[in-house]
Amino acid sequence: MSIIPSPWAIAYAHRHFTGTKDSHGNKKRITDPPEIRMVMSIAQPGRFGASREVISAENLLRDETALMMAVADPTIYYVDDSIWIFPEFDKYGCLIPGSGIAYWIMGTPADDRQGPWPDLLAMFGGVVRCKRVSG
């Protein structure tokens, strides 16, 4: 549990594979219904110094947005799960389906604060990296 407030609401959906396979032999992926979670902050790191290989004209037309999301407990987020930032809610506080901006969780969420006092540092939460590709 973090000592830092979490004022921002996001929608989160866990995605996982089933034991059944599709016609191509791939395991079917299902997405659980979204749930509302609160996060400490959402930041977009700068792209200066970042590089990527241009392999086609379509690649140049894409927009990639990476976010760093500070959360109280990074262990409850998993790679390839979905989040929606800025979701909308009805007058009862329920999520309006299809609202918000969708992102994928990249890599394994982690506590980037290394040190000799892991229990103390855990009070500051961790970081979840997210990505959106559009275009």
| pLDDT recorded at residue 54 | 65
Q: Tell me whether residue 20 is in a domain.
A: yes
Q: Tell me whether residue 106 is in a domain.
A: yes
Query: Residue 127 gets which letter from DSSP?
Result: E
Q: Give the tens place of pLDDT for each residue, 22-44.
A: 889 888 888 899 999 999 999 88
Count of domains observed in the chain:
1
| pLDDT recorded at residue 88 | 93
Q: What average pLDDT does the structure give for the chain?
A: 83
Closest CA to 104 of 64, 51, 53, 73: 64
Phi and psi dihedrals of 78, rounded to 5?
A: -130, 150
Q: Tell me whether residue 1 is in a domain.
A: no
Q: Give the tens place of pLDDT for each residue, 117-135.
A: 767 777 788 889 998 887 6
Q: Tell me whether residue 2 is in a domain.
A: no
More confident residue, 11 or 112: 11
Q: Tell me whether residue 128 is in a domain.
A: yes
Q: Tell me whether residue 26 is in a domain.
A: yes
State pTM to two decimals.
0.78
CATH of the domain at 40: 2.40.10
Range of the domain at 118: 8-45+53-134
Q: Tell me whether residue 14 is in a domain.
A: yes
What share of the chain in percent tops pLDDT 70?
87
